Structure formats: structure tokens, C-alpha cells
């Protein structure tokens, strides 16, 4: 463990709300254009590891926390970086609950899947359906999530451009990647990795978009659930400038499939944002790319005393290629390392 510093009734009510929201569903992803505000700012809030489970009391607390942070930060976009669900048998209702705080405030939101999202309860014998679940998220109010290409691994591989304030020119690109779930063989470790066809898709997309700027790539951020091996490498790199907290090991794949190298080659991704490890929130400046954990948001999952839930805030500038980030905690405190 290290700490690093620098400078029932409830269930029925929530399910009723879910039914209303689902009934008013619209294909918002085709209508919403992400763009900077007139002051040249674009704010993202990352929530991760909600672990919603069909509308119980702890789900209610998680959704209330999300609403609290949204009302303070007023972001232009919310990104959910996986494990939004955890063993939910009533998937459609729980997916709709997850969308509720953003739908209520008409805030666009996007999602990358985690390793627990498509799991069923232990006593339910049903096959996993990652693409079917992703489609549920795509169809929710205010969702700008997209179905990933069918011919590559995973279901939540897509990108979102962010336009200038006038909505006429792309300025940044946000990549969502499916970090998948579990390795197929025990000798390969616990967790799956981002596969080579996904990495090839990212590289192709980056190159295609760069053609709009005479070959110069747009600055970009990447969001997914399970951290890369480079999050672990950075901890022993004396030049990585690690700040924040690490209260557990890096639960990453033991296979390095090359995504970090591809991002270095393309030169577009300025920051990577993940979840998965609930009691770490550190950032490492590693080989020119900022590797960053979100702050775990869900109440109904493992945590640590003295390490409150929250969300990570990311602020982009329209005419820059850097960003600032901080954590907004339950109760309102702001933490910036």
C-alpha cells in the first residue's frame, strides 16, 4: 500500500422510473454532437465500477452520488468505464437505472464494458451476450455510445469526435475500447487483453481521421476498464512521476498485446482512463502518455475505509492538446494531485 501526494418500496419506485425512461427511449447517439462550450472548454466526468444490482438500497446510494457530482461539475459528457452492472438478472431495468442520472439532466454519456457487466447471477444459467447488452446501453436516453464493429473482438469499440464550439471542426477524439473480461487459459493470467484486431482498428481509425488534417492526428483520450500492464511498469520507473494512491496491485492482463506501443506510434492519445481497481486513483506520466485511474463510484462493491467514492473530472481546452484532471468525492470535496 502506498500513498503518494503532490502539492421492497425503494426497489419498486426505482423500477417504475426505469420503465418510464425506457418508454421514452430515443436514438440520441444520432442527434447529439459533442462540442466545446463558448469559452472553449469541454468537461468529462468519468464514473467507474458502479456495480449496480437491480435497484437495491446501495444502488440508490450510488445513483444519488452520481447525481450529486453531476450537479456540482455540470459536465458536457459522462463516461462509464465498465462494471456498470454486476450480476444483474433484470438487465434492461438495471441498464435503464444506470442511465437515469444523465437522462434526468440531459447530459450525453458513453460507456465501455467491463469484465462483470455481462455476467449473470450465479444461480442463473444463461449465456453471456456482450453485444446484446451493449445494444441496451446504446438505446438509452442521452447515450452517445455506439455498437463496435462486428468483425473485431469485443462490443464497445468506437470513437467520439469532439467539435469546436461552432460544431464545424473536430478538435479532439475520444476512443472507447472493450478491454474484454477473462483470459481463456489459467496459465495466461486472470484477465483478457485488448486484442490485436482492436488495436489495428484503433490505428486505422486514427490514421483515417488524421487525413482530415494532412496526416496530423487529432489529440485524443482513451477510455476502457481493465488497466494495461504499463500501469504496473510505471510504478517502478523513476521517471514516471506517479501521483495519487495505490492501495492494491494492478489487476491487469499478463499479456501485453501492444496497445500502448500503438498509441505511442500514432502520437495522438494524451491520456488513458481506466477503472477495475477500486482503491487506486493514481496517475503516471509514462513515456509521454498519462495513465490514470478513475475513482470508484459504486457503493455496492469492495472499498477501503478512508477512501470515499467519487468520480474523476477531465477538462479539455479547445485550442490545446493537454488536459487537467481532478477527483470529486462523495460529500463534495475536490482532490487534485
Among 281, 154, 141, 161, CA closest to 221 = 161
pLDDT at res. 123: 82
Fold of the 35-335 domain: Purple Acid Phosphatase; chain A, domain 2 (3.60.21)
Q: What is the pTM of this model?
A: 0.92
pLDDT at res. 309: 98
Q: What residue ranges in the chain does DSSP mark as E strands?
A: 2-4, 41-47, 77-81, 109-112, 158-163, 170-176, 220-223, 244-246, 269-274, 283-286, 289-293, 310-317, 323-329, 334-335
- With left for phi above 0 and alpha for psi between -120 and 50, is residue 24 left, alpha or beta? alpha
Judged on CB neighbours under 10 Å (0-12, 13-18, 19+), 243 is middle
Residue length, the chain?
A: 337
**Between the CA atoms of 140, 76, 174 and 116, what dihedral angle is there, to the nearest 10 degrees?**
-40
pLDDT at res. 31: 77
Give the C-alpha separation, 84 to 19, whole Å: 19
Q: What is the pLDDT along the chain (337 residues), one digit of tens a residue?
A: 445 444 333 444 444 444 444 433 434 445 799 999 999 999 999 999 999 998 889 999 999 999 999 999 999 999 999 999 999 999 999 999 999 999 999 999 999 999 999 999 988 889 899 999 999 999 999 999 999 999 999 999 999 999 999 999 999 999 999 999 999 999 999 999 999 999 999 999 999 999 999 999 999 999 999 999 999 999 999 999 999 999 999 999 999 999 999 999 999 999 999 999 999 999 999 999 999 999 999 999 999 999 999 999 999 999 999 999 999 999 999 999 8
Phi, psi values for residue 106, rounded to 5°? 55, 45
pLDDT at res. 23: 38
pLDDT at res. 103: 98
Among 181, 212, 205, CA closest to 194 = 181
Taking the CA atoms of 290, 190, 327 and 52 in sequence, report the sign of the dihedral they define.
positive
pLDDT at res. 174: 98
Q: Which residues pair with 172 in a beta bridge?
A: 162
CB 212 within 8 A of CB 170: yes
Q: How many CB atoms lie within 10 A of CB 31?
A: 10
pLDDT at res. 11: 40
Amino acid at each position: 500500500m502506498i500513498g503518494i501526494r503532490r502539492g421492497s418500496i425503494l426497489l419498486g419506485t426505482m423500477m417504475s422510473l426505469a420503465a418510464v425512461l425506457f418508454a421514452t427511449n430515443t436514438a440520441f447517439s444520432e442527434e447529439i454532437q459533442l462540442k466545446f462550450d463558448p469559452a472553449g472548454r469541454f468537461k468529462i466526468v468519468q464514473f467507474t465500477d458502479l456495480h449496480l444490482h437491480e435497484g437495491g438500497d446501495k444502488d440508490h446510494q450510488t445513483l444519488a452520488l452520481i447525481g450529486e457530482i453531476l450537479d456540482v461539475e455540470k459536465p458536457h459528457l459522462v463516461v462509464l468505464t465498465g462494471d456498470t452492472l454486476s450480476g444483474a438478472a433484470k438487465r434492461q431495468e438495471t441498464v435503464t437505472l444506470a442511465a437515469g442520472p444523465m437522462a434526468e439532466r440531459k447530459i450525453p454519456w458513453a460507456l465501455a464494458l467491463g469484465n462483470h457487466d455481462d455476467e449473470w447471477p450465479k444461480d442463473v444459467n444463461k449465456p453471456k451476450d456482450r453485444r446484446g447488452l451493449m445494444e441496451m446501453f446504446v438505446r438509452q436516453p442521452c447515450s452517445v455510445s455506439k455498437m463496435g464493429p462486428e468483425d473485431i473482438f469485443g462490443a464497445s469499440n468506437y470513437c467520439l469526435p469532439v467539435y469546436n464550439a461552432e460544431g464545424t471542426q473536430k478538435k479532439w477524439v475520444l476512443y472507447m475500447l472493450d478491454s474484454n473480461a477473462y483470459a481463456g487459459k489459467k496459465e495466461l493470467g486472470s484477465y483478457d487483453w485488448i486484442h490485436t484486431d482492436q488495436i489495428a482498428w484503433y490505428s486505422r481509425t486514427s490514421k483515417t481521421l488524421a487525413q482530415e488534417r494532412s496526416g496530423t492526428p487529432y489529440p485524443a483520450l482513451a477510455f476502457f476498464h481493465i488497466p494495461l500492464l504499463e500501469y504496473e511498469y510505471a510504478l517502478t520507473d523513476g521517471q514516471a512521476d506517479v501521483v495519487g494512491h495505490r492501495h492494491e496491485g494492478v489487476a491487469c492482463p499478463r499479456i501485453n498485446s501492444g496497445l500502448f506501443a500503438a498509441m505511442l506510434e500514432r502520437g495522438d492519445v494524451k491520456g488513458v482512463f481506466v477503472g477495475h481497481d477500486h482503491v487506486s486513483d493514481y496517475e503516471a506520466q509514462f513515456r509521454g502518455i498519462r495513465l490514470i485511474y478513475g475513482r470508484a463510484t459504486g457503493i455496492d462493491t469492495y472499498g477501503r475505509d478512508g477512501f470515499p467514492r467519487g468520480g474523476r473530472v477531465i477538462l479539455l481546452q479547445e485550442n490545446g492538446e493537454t488536459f487537467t484532471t481532478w477527483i470529486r468525492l462523495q460529500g463534495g470535496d475536490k482532490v487534485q494531485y
